[in-house]
Homo-oligomer: A and B are copies of this chain.
Amino acid sequence: MSNYRNDDQLLAEMFKALGNPHRLLLFHRLTTCCQPGTRCDLDAAMRFSVGQLGEGLEIAPSTLSHHLKALHQAGLIEMERQGKQVMCWIEPAVLSRLSGYFAGNEEIPIER
């Protein structure tokens, strides 16, 4: 497909990942902390383990893992093992890149 800028391919993969309700909820949990509708900037508060993210979602651990891997491979979330757990978070640049896409500033590159 020669009509696409590299960027659009990346973006399409991000939207595809967010296009599943389970994955969108997981992503959403990583963007909000404590109070609903609030966003705090303390990095620690925005990190959740795989297990925490899956709480209340009625899906098998293997399915949860699969979805988080998809979000990670799309460049939407970061994952890092910390002891027995794997912690997940979103880089703020990802949010501004996506917000910017719809707001019309597409100069901002995705950083990986």
* Residues in B neighbouring A28, C-beta threshold 8 A: 8
* Residues in B neighbouring A11, C-beta threshold 8 A: 18, 24
In the assembly, what is the distance between CA of A63 and CA of B22, in Å?
A: 28
Cβ contacts A1-41/B at 8 Å (1 or 0 each): 10110001101110111111110110010010000010100
Is chain A's interface secondary structure helix, strand, loop, or mixed overall? helix
Q: Are B3 and A57 in contact (CB-based, < 8 A)? A: yes
Tell me the count of chain A residues lying within 8 A, CB to CB, of chain B. Answer: 35
15 new A-B contacts, CB < 8 A, other than A1-B21, A31-B102, are A1-B22, A3-B25, A3-B56, A3-B57, A12-B18, A12-B20, A16-B19, A17-B19, A19-B19, A37-B107, A95-B102, A96-B103, A99-B101, A99-B103, A103-B103
